[in-house]
Every structure is written in C-alpha cells, then in structure tokens.
Amino acid sequence: MFLLLPLLLLLLPLLLFLFLKPLSKSKSKSQIHPPSPASLPFIGHLHLLLPIPYRALHSLSLIHGPIMLLKLGQIPTLILSSSSSIRSMIKSNDIAFSSRPNLKVPRQLVYDSKSISFTPYGPYWRQARKLCVLHLLSTKRVLSFRPNRHSELSIMLSHISNHSLSGPINLSEIIYSFTTNILCKVALGRSITEESQRRMLHDSICQATKLFGSFNVEDYFPSLKWLNMFSSLDSKIAEIFKKLDGFISSVVEDHLVAGVRDKDDDNADLVDILLSLQRDPLPGEFSPTMDEVKAIILNMFAAGTTTSYIFLEWAMSELIRNPKIMKKLKEEAKSVSEKSSMVAEEDVNKMSYLKAVVKEVLRLHPPAPLLVPRETIEDTELQGYKIPAKTRVIINAWAIGRDPKFWDAPEEFMPERFVNNELDFRGQDFEFIPFGVGRRICPGMPFAVATIEFALANLVHQFDWEMPNGLSAEDLNMDEAQGLIMHRKHPLVLVAKKPWPSTTSPPKMPHAITLGNPLRATSFLASPPIC
C-alpha cells in the first residue's frame, strides 16, 4: 500500500498530461498556420509558381492540402484550392477576406486602383459596386443592350461568310474584334474607326494585361521597391496610362459636347449613365469624380472584352475537338431558330444544352483561373487555422473546377454533366466559381453571359466548322499561354463552310449602323493581332 501511493503520485502527472493533451490541441489549433512546402531563402516559394501558376499551385495542393500558406518573397499568401475551403471562407467571415492588395500596376494604371476589380474593400467599393449593379449591369440594362449585341453579331457573321470561301480564317482575331466592338458600343457609345486609334487601344490593353500578370519587385518585396528605379516598369506604366487616359478622356469629352443622355434613357451607354449620375446623383448615392468615372469605364471595357473573347475562343476549340457535341448543339439551335438564319437572343433561354456547354467551357477554361487576388482585412480563422491581417489570398478556381472529389472525369469535356443539373456559376455553388464568389464576385457576369451565349449559338448555327488543310480535330493545339489569364497560346484558325442553306441568301448587313448621335456609329473593326 505504501509502495502504491508513491507510484500513483508519479503517474498522476502523466495521466493529467494524457487527459489534457486533446484539450490543449483544440485550443492551440487556431493558433497554427496552414501547411507550407519547404521554401528557399529570400524568395520563399516564388520559384514554385512556374511555369503556369494555376497548374503549379494545383500540384502543390495535392501534396500539402487545399489550404496552403506560401511566402511569395516577403508576402504571406494563402492558397485556397477546394470548394470546402471557399465555403468556410464565405460562410464564416467573407468580409475579412474581401479586400484587395495594393498592387503597383493597378494603382498607377487604373486611377489609384479606383476600378471595382482592384479597389480595396470599404465605403468607395460598396458605393461604386452598388452604382454599377443598379444602373450599369442590372437585368433591365443588360436587356437594353440587346440591339447592340444583335447588330455587332450580325456584322461578325457577315464578315465570316464573306471570307469563308477564301480559305481558313483566324477566328481568334474575328472574335476579339467582335467582343471589342460590343464593349465599345455599350461602354463608350461608339466604335473605333481610325486604324491608328484602333491599333493604339488594342496594343495598350494587351500591354496592360501583360503587366498585370508580370513579376514586379514591389508587389513581392515591398522593402526593395527602390529597385524599380533600375527597371523600365514605371516608364511603361506611364506610357500606357497616357494613351488609355487620353482615349477615355476624348470619349468623355465627345459625350459632353454631344449632350449626356439621362441614365434612364434606353439608348444611354455606360459613359452617359456615369456622367448623368455625376451630374445628378440620386438621394443617398455618391457622385463619382471624373477619375472614378474613367476607372469604372476602363474596368468594364477591359474586363468585358477579355472574358468574352477568351470564353468564345476556348468554346469553339472544344467543340471542334468534340464533333458529336457540336452536332447536338447545332441541332438545338436549328430547333429554336424556326428556319431563321439567326438564333434570336430571346430564344437563347430555350437552349438548355447550350447553357450546359457554356458551363462546361467555364469549368475547364475559366478566363481568370486564379481570379483577382484578395487580402485579409483583419486577423481571422479558416478551418481552425490562424490567418493574420494583410495576408494575400489566391483562389485557384481552375483547380476547384477539376477536383476529382466532386467532378467525374474532370479532365473530359462533358456538357451532359450539367444537363438537368441546377449547379450554376452565380456564386452559390462553391464547386464552380469561374466568376468569383462572395462580395467580390464579378458584377459584369450577366452582361458577359448574355454576350457569349448569343454569340456561340449563332456561330454554331450558321456555319459548319472544320480544321484547315485536312487536319483532324486531334491535331488542334490546346496549349495555354503562360500567365495569369487563361487564353490560347496559338490563334484558333478554322474553316467555315455552308453558312446558309442553298435556298436562303445571307442577310445583307450594313458595315456601319448609326443609332442617333453621329458620333456614335458602329463598324466592324479590322482584325487586330492577338496578344
């Protein structure tokens, strides 16, 4: 008995340790950081992002898990690669993850980051987004732009028909011109007819897009931002800004001279609406400054053009590689067109298979596979992990759309997976987020979807598409360009055949359509080179 008591006293601390250990783990879990791969001195994990960031991050997540913490230079960066991590982020503390990092290029190129895409979370972002959703991108306003989409699509189809007999066509260039035309007409109220101005705008947007995705010392090593004085980055940004600002300023001036249409006018373009709200703000709404007006215009123009162009390019690529799916989509288009040479936009909603094809293209080829980087506003937690304030957050939408835990045969193009399936990309289904999620979901989604569905339905309906020079569908190169924007590495060159039945003549479409103000005429842009 006397020997047992000392033994129990010796064992008591051990028993207490074993009993309290699980409790200490549960308390300390919120104090640990997410897993992280081995890093190199100074540069951290930057070298692990090559050659294609979203693919490289996906490979890392398979080893270290769907929530990773990387050190990109001096910047702690949280990588989210699963629907469960996104669901936790949105459901637990979406606001904490809703800001934007202060990146050099958007700060200097987009009027001190005043665009909706890049501005930090706060009062200005809330007011600007509300303005755009209510007055620029509402369902009513998107429907009011239907005549613009119809006229520009008709011109594109006529252009393809006129050149289809001369051999293969560069469909990438034609699609780029189409999406640019629509955005010019809707956002600016006019098309660009001067070759020099057209070339300047195209080159400037291409260069700006490359700069957004390029490496910049200041964004990863803030303490070394003085090194920029030895690079040409500042001069490049200043040159591009001067050109874009000059162009947008001229557009604004044209509207002021011609007379700004009221925001409730069905013929008002985005510039009219913004200038009208600046002149006569509604009660309780803010009046945007001129720089804020220009930033929103530039944001809408650049983002809208890029998203629609990239989608249509990948959609036609996948359909060429999958002729049975192309045939099924063509039959659906024929069934709703009622022998008309064109599928009307109001009939697109009857095309359930078209919508399945659109979803499948967005799943496999999201235009912005890593979305726009976020930044935490405050210290927060995610699935038990401690996430400090000012942590950069990258969401790998590309990886989430190919997660085998949710998607069957995730690498295959199978629109049937969305037939009789309510899964959608509007932010409620975290397994499918090509337009983002939460408060920072893309507000231009309704406009983009209306454009791409209408265009794709008619490209398939009016033409039989083939590979050029006797090549087979398997020969089509599907390589992706390196960078943060997921576009094709090579232009899409195809042959368009039998645009209309022999009993039907192609509709004669004008090469310029004037709607009201002579300053606001539209014409088909000559095909520019693709970035």
pLDDT tens for each residue of 31-65: 599 999 999 999 999 999 988 899 999 999 999 99
How buried is residue 229: exposed, middle or buried, by Cβ count under 10 Å (0-12/13-18/19+)? exposed
Residue 316 has pLDDT above 90, yes or no: yes
Q: Please, which pLDDT band fits residue 519 given cuts at 50, 70 and 90?
A: very low
Q: Tens digit of pLDDT for each residue in 81-121?
A: 999 999 999 998 899 999 999 999 999 999 999 999 999 99
Q: Tens digit of pLDDT for each residue in 207-216?
A: 888 888 888 8
**Residue 15 within a domain:** no
Q: Provide the β-strand partners of residue 71.
A: 76
> What's residue 202's pLDDT?
77
Q: Please, which pLDDT band fits residue 15 given cuts at 50, 70 and 90?
A: very low
Cβ atoms within 10 Å, residue 358: 21
Cβ atoms within 10 Å, residue 33: 15
Distance, in Å, from the CA atom of 11 to the CA atom of 14, rounded to the nearest integer, reads 5
Number of domains into which the chain is organized: 1
**Residue 89 within a domain:** yes
Query: Which structure tokens are listed for 293?
Result: 């007006």
**Residue 402 within a domain:** yes
What is the arithmetic mean of pLDDT over 516-520? Answer: 31
**Residue 96 within a domain:** yes
Domain containing 445 equals 26-523
Cβ distance 289 to 297 under 8 Å? Answer: no
Cβ atoms within 10 Å, residue 506: 13
What is the arithmetic mean of pLDDT over 296-316? Answer: 90
Q: Tens digit of pLDDT for each residue in 230-242?
A: 888 999 999 999 9
**Residue 531 within a domain:** no
- Helices (H) and strands (E) in the chain — how many of each? 17, 11
What is the arithmetic mean of pLDDT over 435-440? Answer: 95
Q: Provide the β-strand partners of residue 99.
A: 375
Residue 167 has pLDDT above 80, yes or no: yes
**Residue 6 within a domain:** no
Q: Which amino acid is residue 410, in one-letter code?
A: P
> What's residue 530's pLDDT?
42
**Residue 14 within a domain:** no
What is the arithmetic mean of pLDDT over 318-329? Answer: 98
**Residue 421 within a domain:** yes
Q: What is the mean pLDDT of the chain?
A: 86
The CATH number of whichever domain residue 235 belongs to comes to 1.10.630.10
Residue 460 has pLDDT above 50, yes or no: yes
Cβ atoms within 10 Å, residue 349: 11
Distance, in Å, from the CA atom of 445 to the CA atom of 362, rounded to the nearest integer, reads 12
> What's residue 231's pLDDT?
87
Distance, in Å, from the CA atom of 312 to the CA atom of 458, rounded to the nearest integer, reads 12
Radius of gyration of the chain (CA): 26
Q: Tens digit of pLDDT for each residue in 144-153?
A: 889 989 999 9
Please name which of 220, 270, 237, 272 lies closest in space to residue 110, comparing C-alpha atoms.
237
Q: Tens digit of pLDDT for each residue in 476-507?
A: 999 988 766 788 999 999 999 964 454 444 44
> What's residue 2's pLDDT?
38
Least-confidence region, from 2-16, 29-43, 157-171, 232-246: 2-16
Q: Please, which pLDDT band fits residue 520 given cuts at 50, 70 and 90?
A: very low
> What's residue 483's pLDDT?
66
List C-alpha distances in Å: 483 to 87, 104, 201, 215, 310.
Answer: 27, 17, 21, 10, 14
Please name which of 228, 250, 248, 252 lies closest in space to residue 240, comparing C-alpha atoms.
248
Asked if residue 529 has a cis previous peptide bond (ω within 30° of 0), the answer is no
Cβ distance 519 to 271 under 8 Å? Answer: no
Helix (H, G, I), strand (E, B) or coil at 101: coil
Question: Around 179, how many Cα atoms within 13 Å sit in the side-chain half-sphere?
Answer: 30
What is the arithmetic mean of pLDDT over 301-326? Answer: 93
Between β-strands 392-395 and 75-80, what pairing exists: parallel, antiparallel or unpaired? parallel
Distance, in Å, from the CA atom of 36 to the CA atom of 17, rounded to the nearest integer, reads 29
Q: Tens digit of pLDDT for each residue in 180-209?
A: 888 888 888 777 767 777 778 878 888 888
What is the arithmetic mean of pLDDT over 16-44? Answer: 68
Q: Tens digit of pLDDT for each residue in 337-378?
A: 987 889 999 999 999 999 999 999 999 999 999 999 999 999
